[in-house]
Amino acid sequence: MMRTRPLKVALLGCGVVGSEVARIMTTHADDLAARIGAPVELAGVAVRRPSKLREGIPQELVTTDATALVKRGDIDVVVEVIGGIEPARTLITTAFEHGASVVSANKALLAQDGAALHAAAGQHGKDLYYEAAVAGAIPLIRPLRESLAGDKVNRVLGIVNGTTNFILDKMDSTGAGYQEALDEATALGYAEADPTADVEGFDAAAKAAILAGIAFHTRVRLDDVYREGMAEVTAADFASAKNMGCTIKLLAICERAEDGQSVTARVHPAMIPLSHPLASVRGAYNAVFVESDASGQLMFYGPGAGGAPTASAVLGDLVAVCRNRLSGTTGPGESAYTALPVSGMGEVVTRYHISLDVADKPGVLAQVATVFAEHGVSIDTVRQQGKDGEASLVVVTHRASDAALGGTVEALRKLDTVRGVASIMRVEGE
């Protein structure tokens, strides 16, 4: 039997995502009530500019006083889609203190202070859900937290930023340079006026921290994630990738060490074989590849951003939290029982593609090979092209640690026959 008294929802933020959340709550009200077991009512909307007209939202619900809204005491669920660290952090903890559970899409805050937020939720017996914080509409957080709770996840490898994937896909398919592809992404609305958070990997790094923490049951903060941007990726890199049967993606990679005693989390451009499922992810789409002991390999794919897709994830969490509210229970909180250390990038082991500008004369290849051998880095393939006294030497290694590769490159730069290191790129997904 359905409860007639509605569950009250406070919405913090009414931008692209927030307005879609409000719209779906209104247009799908009957369906949501049937799925939850009680109607849900939008009880207040906190915004910065109250004079702006918001279709479908009664003006009397609009307020600039977010703190007063979350302190009302009759709010069942607070939906936070304002982003950033403050005032979001204070508003969320205040919501817990005043009896509300929270649904958030705030990846930056969760990556930085997820442990403290989970502790606050647990202290007050409330829910903290955040499916929308990673990969938009793609169901990913809940499968990792719940569906795979009985399995051991060893690796999470994914494309978690649509802007960067659009740019790299455009460079791959058309031969465009980085700036040209970025300009097109901006014109089409895929990139912000200031694209730094996307192209420098900050957005993906926050998502990697969240994914690693859930997948490995350990605390991983944003500062633990190694990060490289993609502005240095060139058309020549794509040409080299194609020669290897690869393409280039900006990847978020979270791994459990082979001995199981530590984890790593990193974001950087990487070559990935065309045979790997992630290589076929085009445009602004996201996809995440999960490898675990029992279930093997799983792939989650779909739109990773946008108002309606992200709102879909928010509403899914809202339904779950409201159901918990009615039954007097809470869902899964933080699981950090393994307390594994997060290793630095120097301990990461993978393959490398190194392009060197060298003198075109006898003995150069032998010198380069000797340097690799002296640093314990095994060479898989070598390709050399030369003309007019200059040559390009492309070396692809077997698996080696980042620290060993770094020492190798430093020694190569000291060779008189090496004019410069044109590019270094990791090869993943094999």
Active-site positions read 207
Question: Using CA atoms, how far apart are residues 109 and 134, in angstroms rounded to an integer?
Answer: 12
Question: Using CA atoms, how far apart are residues 119 and 114, in angstroms rounded to an integer?
Answer: 9
Look at the block and give the residue holding tokens 């990139």: 191
Alpha carbon distances (Å) from 398 to 181, 238, 278, 373: 32, 20, 21, 12
Going by their DSSP bridges, the two strands 349-359 and 418-427 should be labelled as antiparallel
Question: Using CA atoms, how far apart are residues 351 and 354, in angstroms rounded to an integer?
Answer: 10
Residues 283 and 169: beta-carbon distance below 8 Å? yes
How many residues in the chain? 430
